[in-house]
A and B are shown apart, each in its own frame.
Chain A
Amino acid sequence: MSTTIDEARGAGRRPGDAIFKGTAVGAALVILLALAGVAVFLLYEGVPGILGAREETGSSFVAYVWPLVYGTLVAAVIALVIATPLAFAMALVISHYAPKRLAKPLGYIVDLLAAVPSVVYGVWGITVLGPQLVPMYRWLAETVPWIPFFAGPASTTGRTIFTAGVVLAIMVLPIVTAICREIFAQTPTLHQEAALALGATRWEMIRMTVFPYARSGMISAVMLGLGRALGETMAVALVLSASGVITLNFISNTNPSTIAANIALRFPEATGLAVNILIASGLVLFAITFAVNFAARAIAGRSARRMSR
């Protein structure tokens, strides 16, 4: 449709339009080129690693990367399970429950969390959060060892994948909260008043109007958080005492590592084929993040279509 309007108006002859179109297309091309460049680099450097993994590590590439993929996903999922409800609740408090005077500063504080460098989170995770969580891990390992996640023996340092997940949760909280807060606040007053006038309580009003309106945005926000949790390197590299195992036990001394943390820890000393293998694992992370974003788009698009139907 836009092209027919363009043609009808003879756009492109106007200098303003031409300049704007040129810049927009140029910017889009730069982004595409950068993305393609990254993909080509990862493939070019990574494929030799995938093919040559057996001579370097003595096993196939899949056997090498699978525990890392597992650890990456576990840490991200723990982070999201903790962060998502918290972020939704905080966003709702800021947008719909707190009085204006309180909502503003609360919003700023949450935004500030995003400004903290990830190294700081990592150091905080090792020195403060980990030791603080040790008693809880011990308690869990003693009381509910039949839950596979808490089978124990409990870590004595607290540098577990669960701690890493908690640190990641705090790191993704601000972005998810900020996006949700914006969308919640944009719910049309018209619909909110319709619900209230029917005698809905505030919570019923939120369920009837705010959530349906914000649904696709909430999903996008969580997916963005997931993307961040998957790719986060420094904090996990610092916090996690990783041994590269695959285990459901989240609170012991032996933990799975994540792709990003593994690259950060190994890269400085890697040479030759080992570098290629690390880059290949980066390629896998790239593919996972890409798939997550793609899924987010699809889900968001579907519920957007449902809204406009």
Chain B
Amino acid sequence: MNIALENISKRFGEVQANEGISLAVPAGTIHGILGENGAGKSTLMKILSGFIRADSGRTFLDGAPAQIRGPADAIRLGIGMLHQDPLDFPPMTAVDNFLAGRTGAWRLSRPDARRELEERQADFDFRVDPGARVENLTVGERQQLEMVRLLSLGARALILDEPTTGISALQKDRLFAALRKLAADGKSIILISHKLRDVEMLCDEVTVLRRARVAGRAQAPYDLNELVRLMFGRVVTREPRLEVPTGGPLLTLDGLAVEDHRLRLAGLNLEIRAGEVIGLAGLEGSGQELFLRACGGLLRPAAGRLRLAGRDLAGEPYPVFRDAGIAYVPAARLEEGLVAGLTPAEHFAIVEPGGGLVIDWKLTMEQAERRIAEYDIRGAATGPVDSLSGGNQQRALLSLLPPGLCLVLLEHPTRGLDVESASAIWRKLLDRCADGAALVFTSSDLEEILQYSDRVLVFFGGQVAGPVPASAMTVERLGEMMGGQP
């Protein structure tokens, strides 16, 4: 399908999210959309998929003007979108997710749907268990399910909003192969990403957005420096690794065992030193989350000891961990990290230490302004956090961490952040290390793990290998270990 957007504008209250954006995607091509956090990428694509409505502007499909009044119209016209945070129904099974929203006989036939799901998955070498609950699937699998679902609805244009954050290297290879195959079939694909390498590998053409407008366009082969300049208005480079000398032992795990109903980690022994950064590598759902939750006091260990500066915290309730200076930053930012509906300023008021019963709004607003400036959160301090762009929600979450922590546990700390904000966040985190805090983090970006960690733990199906010094590792070796090769 040939897609053309003409002069699209959209404003949310005070924020102009899109301004006079035009875009053309010929059938059979893969089009990349680049731009820093908050540039307006998701907004533009939500407009194309009918999820929100533009204030002005027109859409043409195969040359004819199209009226897209809502998602139902877009689906009928053959446009499907994979949202930045998977928009599915977590407690329901994969088949039910596949079926929900389809038209057809009013009575469900799950065996038929299951067969169709399996058949369509086989086309792309996807392997989602139709009977599994979606909340137990990895982000990559949820994405595969959504993609197959959209194609089954007859999508001829597929929009993917940052599909490569939070998925494994293998899943990414499968995804890219699938997208190439779809483009070869004449479908048009639009890919939003922060990762220049992904765009370089996949896209025939890119459009760069900055501050709600089109900053430029480019065609393959790309000059990556030029793309970066278009995205940020200047050249950004990755900084060399900051060396922080490590201190004495901070957290000691002694035969720790943790489990939930899916997975069991046992016999963990580890000594984390002050100032150290530990990276946790592994395919999603291999046990990293259990590990972090146990260290953060959110999951009671089944056995073993967890000593912080000599004091055994295993079995203590969460507030004890928190008061001891341990913080946990979850991956599901809107579900566990932030309170949807509250503004950033209100969040700051909640976490501000001390303080009386009554909120001093003047002081809070001042502090909010300070933190917003410090973490460069773009968007209004007085609007609800869930209306921030994905990357800015992540910044807001990190800006809530109190000062003086001794152990910070992070899941995908730079998920959805552009290169510039990612290094800004890391600068802030490493400052804490210089003050004697230790960091433990997960990431699906292996380069990030090797760049920032001192030592790496590799998780595979509940088995933990390592710790290995990051300096002795390569991305390839790490990939092998994550796949279970010793």
The finding on whether chains A and B are genuine partners in a shared complex, rather than unrelated, reads: no
Chain A residues in contact with chain B, CB under 8 A?
none
